[in-house]
Amino acid sequence: MGKIIAIANQKGGVGKTTTSVNLSACLAHIGKKVLLIDSDPQGNATSGVGINKGDVQDCIYSILIDDVPVKDVILQTEIENLEIIPATISLAGAEIELVSTISREVRMKHAIQDIKDQYDYIIIDCPPSLGLLTLNALTASDSIIIPVQCEYYALEGLSQLLSTVRLVQKHLNDSLYIDGVLLTMFDARTNLGIQVIEEVKKYFQDKVYRTIIPRNVRLSEAPSHGKPIIMYDSRSKGAEVYLELAKEVVENE
Ligand code: ADP
Ligand code: MG
């Protein structure tokens, strides 16, 4: 038990953090025990669940670089069933510092091995690069969710991501698989969005989630209130679709 899912795409602004925060909160909402790992130095997932980064002592950096035990870093969020390993800006140094570290790609995997079974889901929010932080996340994970923004150049960069996934499968984690591609920020008013959906479905076929995340202003407002969408506005379209995604993720197992 305890499924680990990396939310990854080296492109910035495609909805990784929004998906990490809201999928985690929605899984917690339907009764799953969830750990969110913020693996992006920007720490937006951390503040997105209401943690003040200024108050954080140890973060994922301490686990990866200083071998601080995971249990000393986990924080409870205001959301029932949802805990977090936060990130702070100190993590920015980890990408470089990891280079010269023993077993640099498997540090996250080893660190969370012992706590894995305490959760139904562990969701890892990856940074916008294919560096060592993302490699650590993919090596530690059972599967990967790839958010793809319904915009021009949606597929750009995905071949690079897929070849990284194949390299990880070959050398570091042979059981890693693609859970699904998640279409985000869809705007039904434009033809472009519809074209992108068709294009992505042609490429990824049944790997595309049935749930499509529309552009929803409430989703973009929620982080500044430090709340996942189901707490910020439970009746919004954003809350509805992320709850639907959570159910689809559970169903897919
Ligand atoms: P990433 O983590 O991939 O860089 P984010 O999740 O931070 O992407 O999203 C980028 C920006 O787009 C953020 O300001 C976020 O609030 C906004 N955003 C994400 N998803 C949606 C959506 N479905 N509707 C409206 N705004 C969104
Ligand atoms: Mg992000």
pLDDT given at position 102:
87
Q: Whose CA is nearest to atom 1 of ligand 1?
A: 13
- Ligand nearest to the backbone CA of 11: 1
Read off the CATH number of the domain in which 11 is found: 3.40.50.300
CA distances to 7, 52, 218, 235 from 39, rounded to whole Å, are: 10, 16, 24, 29
User: What ipTM was assigned to the predicted interfaces of this complex?
Assistant: 0.99
Question: Is the sign of the CA dihedral 123, 10, 18, 41 positive or negative?
Answer: positive
Ligand 1 atom closest to Cα of residue 186:
23
Q: Per-residue pLDDT for 23 more than 90?
A: yes
Q: Which of 10, 17, 18, when mutated, tests ligand 1's pocket best, judged by the most ligand atoms within 8 Å of its CB?
A: 18
Instruction: Choose from 95-99, 147-151, 228-232 the range with maximum mean pLDDT.
Output: 228-232
Domain that holds residue 203: 1-250
- Cβ count near 210 (within 10 Å): 11
- Domain count for the chain: 1
Q: Per-residue pLDDT for 1 more than 80?
A: no
The model scores a pTM over 0.90: yes
pLDDT given at position 107:
96
* Ligand 1 contact, 16 CB (< 6 A): yes
The pLDDT of 79-101, averaged and rounded, is 95
* Tens digits of residue pLDDT in 133-182: 999 999 999 999 999 999 888 888 899 999 999 999 999 999 999 999 99
CA atoms of 217 and 222, how far apart (whole Å): 9
